[in-house]
Chains A and B, each alone.
Chain A
Amino acid sequence: MEQRNKLALFEATVLPHLNAAYNLARWLLHDDSSAEDVVQESYLRALKYFSGYHGGDSRAWLLTIVRNTSYNWLQQNRSRELTNPIEDAEGLTATEANPEAVLLQRIDHDLLRQALTELPIEFREVLILREMEGFTYKEIAALAELPIGTVMSRLARARARLQERLAGRLNQEI
């Protein structure tokens, strides 16, 4: 009975976040079947650690596990993707922005998806957490275990790079 209650509570707490879990894993891993495996693995881990969850934002709690599981998976299966970590420079803001980028009137979703896919994982994940999941700087810092200043500078650099890529693509096509 105890076990069944715990299971029901677990399902009610974290299963509603399946879409967010899959979206994050899929963006970090780049392919459908790895993302599905990692999501399943994340839920099993979450079940194991559920007694350590004491309320609070269950989506942030689950996504922290999804992120860690994704990184473990990459470490084991595609460690070369993690071998060139970006260098964090504090205080660097949007100064990387390419002036050409500002001429865009609208952004094509396919181009944007491609540009986002090509970003280093450190940039990609902060953008996913900020723009798609709507977490605050503070929440992202806690989730990804980064200082808030690093979250801000990574976001700025990620956006600048995306603008650069999009402008570059557009120029090529023209």
Chain B
Amino acid sequence: MNCQELESQRQAYLDGELDLTRSLELEKHLRECSECPQAFDALSLLQRSLRSDALRFQPPASLEKRVRSAVRREGGSRAQTFSRRWLIPAISAAVLVILFAGYLLTRTPADNLVASEIVSSHVRSLMTTSHLIDVPSEDPHTVKPWFDGKLDFSPPVKDLTPQGFALIGGRLDYIANRPVAVLIYQRRKHVINLFVWPAPNGDTKPAAQVRQGYNLIHWTKSGMTHWAVSDLNLAELQQLAEELDNAG
């Protein structure tokens, strides 16, 4: 790398946007050149100074309260206007809703509760003081038999390495008042916990939700209920769900 190249690339380097090879070349040139370090250091000093907390504007303490109450007023008032304008249709709709009440009462709260247990377990498994994996292995034929004698069912364990989801192991956990199998997959830096246990109901298609910033997908297939949870983006998590749902 010569001085001219360094000048055109030093900004990308300082911004962490230069690839490793060129970063190393740039650092080498900086060590050897007598001219370049001066301008480089000046830019680096400017960058460090701009990152100082002293340059950030802090909101007044009252702003959070103000924003929160404006949001609640707006969120609440929209619900109120709705109910006044649509009072009679709403009553008719309520009759329909009652018809589904049994379904809603038995299903939704339970699912919500499970979803929050799943997220808690996922977060706990990633804490350094806790543990993520009981049986570390990328081989489904090691992970699957490990659950024998620990659970009263045998979870399906799929190798999805070709699809870009590396199996890294399995773990026992306790969700919805029963011991369950957890399979841990990894996609780039993102850890995916896949919870599996037997379900009494019929098959359901993958359904997504977001909780505390984590993406969750829930589906039931061949008598097993599945919950996948991760900070991975929803599209890729959905891809995992589809791969598992489609695989025999």
Q: Interface code B62-91, partner A: CB below 8 Å = 1, 0 otherwise?
A: 011011101110111011000000000000
Known A-B contacts A39-B59, A43-B70, A44-B70; A152 and B11 likewise in contact (beta carbons under 8 Å)? yes
B30 CB, min distance to chain A CBs, angstroms: 14
Known A-B contacts A22-B57, A159-B46; A7 and B72 likewise in contact (beta carbons under 8 Å)? yes
Q: Which of B48-56, B151-159, B188-196 lies at the interface? A: B48-56
A152 to B17, CA, bound (A): 10
In the complex, which residue of chain A has the Cβ closest to the Cβ of B38?
Answer: A102
Are B15 and A39 within 8 A (Cβ)?
no
Are A106 and B45 within 8 A (Cβ)?
yes
Give residues of chain A (36-71) contacting chain B, Cβ–Cβ below 8 Å.
36, 39-40, 43-44, 47, 54-56, 58
Are B57 and A27 within 8 A (Cβ)?
yes
B233 within 8 A of A: yes
Residue numbers in B under 8 Å from A101 (CB-CB): 42
A84 to B76, CA, bound (A): 42
Residue numbers in A under 8 Å from B50 (CB-CB): 112, 116, 127, 131-132
A109 to B212, CA, bound (A): 37
In the complex, which residue of chain A has the Cβ closest to the Cβ of B9?
Answer: A93
Known A-B contacts A36-B59, A44-B71, A104-B45; A3 and B79 likewise in contact (beta carbons under 8 Å)? yes
> How many residues on chain A are close to B (CB under 8 Å)?
55
A93 to B64, CA, bound (A): 40
Residue numbers in B under 8 Å from A162 (CB-CB): 46
B215 within 8 A of A: yes
A40 to B73, CA, bound (A): 12
B187 CB, min distance to chain A CBs, angstroms: 15
In the complex, which residue of chain A has the Cβ closest to the Cβ of B210?
Answer: A55
Are B210 and A7 within 8 A (Cβ)?
no
In the complex, which residue of chain B has the Cβ closest to the Cβ of A106?
Answer: B45
A137 within 8 A of B: yes
Known A-B contacts A22-B63, A36-B63, A93-B8; A109 and B58 likewise in contact (beta carbons under 8 Å)? no
Are B58 and A19 within 8 A (Cβ)?
yes
B113 within 8 A of A: no
Give residues of chain B (232-248) contacting chain A, Cβ–Cβ below 8 Å.
233-234
A11 to B115, CA, bound (A): 19
A34 within 8 A of B: no
Residue numbers in B under 8 Å from A40 (CB-CB): 63, 66-67, 70
Q: Interface code A150-163, partner B: CB below 8 Å = 1, 0 otherwise?
A: 00100110010011
Known A-B contacts A40-B66, A109-B52, A159-B46; A10 and B75 likewise in contact (beta carbons under 8 Å)? yes
In the complex, which residue of chain B has the Cβ closest to the Cβ of A112?
Answer: B49
Are B59 and A19 within 8 A (Cβ)?
yes
> Which of B42, B57, B70, B71 is the most central at the interface, judged by chain A CB atoms within 10 Å of its CB?
B42
In the complex, which residue of chain B has the Cβ closest to the Cβ of A113?
Answer: B55
B56 contacts which of A9, A23, A35, A163 (Cβ < 8 Å)? A23
A143 to B12, CA, bound (A): 19
Residue numbers in A under 8 Å from B10 (CB-CB): 94
Measured CB to CB, the residues of B under 8 A from A are 7-8, 10-12, 15-17, 38-39, 41-43, 45-47, 49-52, 54-60, 63-64, 66-68, 70-72, 74-76, 78-79, 210, 212-213, 215, 233-234
Can you sample 9 A-B contacts with CB below 8 Å? A3-B78, A13-B210, A22-B59, A26-B57, A36-B59, A55-B213, A58-B213, A109-B54, A136-B17
Q: Knowing that A112-B49, A159-B47 touch, tell me 19 more A-B residue pairs with CB under 8 angstroms.
A: A11-B71, A13-B213, A15-B68, A19-B56, A23-B58, A26-B57, A36-B59, A39-B59, A40-B66, A43-B71, A47-B75, A93-B8, A94-B39, A102-B42, A112-B50, A155-B15, A159-B46, A163-B42, A163-B43
